[in-house]
Amino acid sequence: MNNIIEDLEISPLKETNYIKPIKVNFTLNGYKKSWEAVRSHDSVSVLLYHKEKDAFLLVKQFRVPVYLNDNSIKYTYELCAGLVDKEMTLEEIVCEEIDEECGYKVSKKDIKKITSFFTNVGISGARQYLYFATICENQKIHSGGGINDEQIELFFLSKNRIDDFIFDESKAKTPGLIFSLYWFLQNEKDLELK
């Protein structure tokens, strides 16, 4: 993936689609305080293990906030993920995201919940629900890449490269991805991977 960024323009946000900036005034232990926060949607993410490849299927994509922080980073490595912004179960959203982003058809019954946690605790405090699923090539239904104007590239991480990947600071990655890989290492013997 060779991202070419042109015509970058930063402006104040007046009307929003996915986040709502707010200012919160409150008293905590007798001290008056003020905090700037953002209301945002919860999300789901899924660690996908490809049986035949003995590898994890991750997604790579351009993320503007990361680029604004370090313009040498042209994309991030992430779990397949999506917003909880529709009237569907969390497992249904996971299945839909696997289809849209990665091109695999996975049944709800094959999605295993790992845990949930809070992200961006200093600004939004949204909850992310983390799942695990195995995939194989007979579940492949299309090339993936996302919908509408998403530009998602698929990336296979070999199981024997987990530690190198996690500690490679040249690869921008999310804490949820790192946590899920360590979860896998701790639980691998109990998972049905064959």
Say how far apart CA 107 and CA 118 lie, in whole Å. Answer: 26
192 labeled binding residue: no
Side-chain-side CA neighbours of residue 48 (13 Å): 31
Q: Any idea which residue has 């953002």 for tokens?
A: 38
Say how far apart CA 61 and CA 172 lie, in whole Å. Answer: 10
Say how far apart CA 171 and CA 27 lie, in whole Å. Answer: 41
150 labeled binding residue: yes
97 labeled binding residue: yes
Bridge partners of 82, per DSSP, are 44
Strand 43-50 and strand 126-135: the pairing is parallel
36 labeled binding residue: no
Instruction: Give binding residues as ranges.
Output: 81, 97, 101, 150
Instruction: Give binding residues for Mg(2+) as ranges.
Output: 81, 97, 101, 150
